[in-house]
Amino acid sequence: MAVNHSRIIYSDFTVKTIVIAIGGNSLIKDAQHMSVPDQYASVVETVRHITDLLARGHHAVITHGNGPQVGFILLRSEHARAVMHQVPLDSIVADTQGALGYQLQQALENEFGRRKLTTAVATVVTQALVDRNDPAFAKPSKPIGQFYTREEAEDRMRVEKWAMVEDAGRGWRRVVASPKPVRIVEAEVVGHLVKHGYVVIAGGGGGIPVVADADGSLHGVAAVIDKDLASAVLAKQIGADVLVISTGVEKVCLNFGKPNQRVLDSMTVAEARQYIADGHFHPGSMLPKVEACVRFIEQGGSVAVITCPEKLSAALDGHTGTRVVP
């Protein structure tokens, strides 16, 4: 069957539920374009590529990173510490979910209007449940915020009870735990909205990290959750067909940046695990993306794709990107 939509012919078209994860860094092009208007301009550009997918009738959940944006709020809070209270990290994640959700939501609605699409958009403030006994809490390792002098760091450790480490001679930095997400608390709501045709923005920054008390009550914790892993968990919970991780490269590479660099069109879970063991993927960039894809497939997902924003449609059709398969 061929479906004619927006002057493009798609063959053997099947509507899919897709979770699309975009990075917080992808919303900031460089150090000269970090303002809120600059970020919105990047959102508009990314949204155009996402809408190419959505115009074909697919159901979608869009997740996003928030690392730089959290850093900005922490810096503002630091400068205002003499006159205002400090903002807890879980509240900062919630703040960025609202702000970035607003930008994505508005940009999507505007793009839909230009293309005469009637799809509605909803942003869901999302909590991610983590295990209070996760080993990550015993060894905080995720750096956040600015650099401090030793004297400033000692003050923060004494007054704020922060964990801090010296960073290769550049100064001291706060570190927090990065526990693995167990489940997304609002997944049922997200799934319901998607089923009824909404495009949903959820899981911002990996979700607001929360733990459960013995009676089931939730409360936030100072932690950072990897947004790609959280996206994989959410995709599993809502029964998504495809997990798409949008990043800065068209395809995953082995020996990245070296003379013997090799581009991967696809890899099985077993191959991906071997590449991880061989150290091909950097912990701060491609490693969590590949791990998220592996987790999604191992939990029953059909296919996961890693590619850049402008290649989303072609990658979903199997023409580019790197596919992770069972």
In which domain, by residue range, is 120 found? 14-139+177-321
As annotated, the active-site residues are 24-25, 142, 227, 289
Residue 304 pLDDT exceeds 80: yes
Q: Are residues 163 and 53 in the same domain?
A: no
Distances 14 to 3, 189, 238, 321, 323 between C-alpha atoms, Å: 10, 24, 18, 19, 18
Say how many domains are in the chain: 2
Q: Are residues 154 and 197 in the same domain?
A: no
Write the single-letter amino acid at 186.
E
What is the SS3 assignment for 36?
helix
Q: Are residues 26 and 45 in the same domain?
A: yes
Question: What's the average model confidence in pLDDT over 48-69?
Answer: 93
Write the single-letter amino acid at 86.
Q
Write the single-letter amino acid at 243.
L
The whole-angstrom separation of Cα 277 and Cα 312 is: 28
**Residue-wise pLDDT tens digits, 136-192:** 999 999 999 889 999 999 999 999 899 999 987 889 999 999 999 999 999 999 999
Residue 3 lies in a domain: no
Residue 85 lies in a domain: yes
Residue 64 pLDDT exceeds 90: yes
Question: What's the average model confidence in pLDDT over 261-281?
Answer: 95
* Structural domain ending residue among the three candidates 152, 176, 200: 176
Q: Are residues 252 and 169 in the same domain?
A: no
Q: Poorest-confidence range of 29-33, 118-122, 219-223, 276-280? A: 29-33
Give the CATH number of the domain where residue 206 resides. 3.40.1160.10
CB 59 within 8 A of CB 40: no
Which residue shows structure tokens 């609605």? 109
Q: Are residues 309 and 164 in the same domain?
A: no
**Residue-wise pLDDT tens digits, 252-269:** 999 888 899 999 999 999
Give the pLDDT band of residue 284 (cuts 50, 70, 90): confident
Backbone angles phi, psi at 13, to 5 degrees: -75, 130
CB 221 within 8 A of CB 213: no
**Residue-wise pLDDT tens digits, 70-119:** 999 999 988 898 899 889 999 999 999 999 999 999 999 999 999 999 99
pTM surpassing 0.85? yes
The whole-angstrom separation of Cα 138 and Cα 115 is: 50
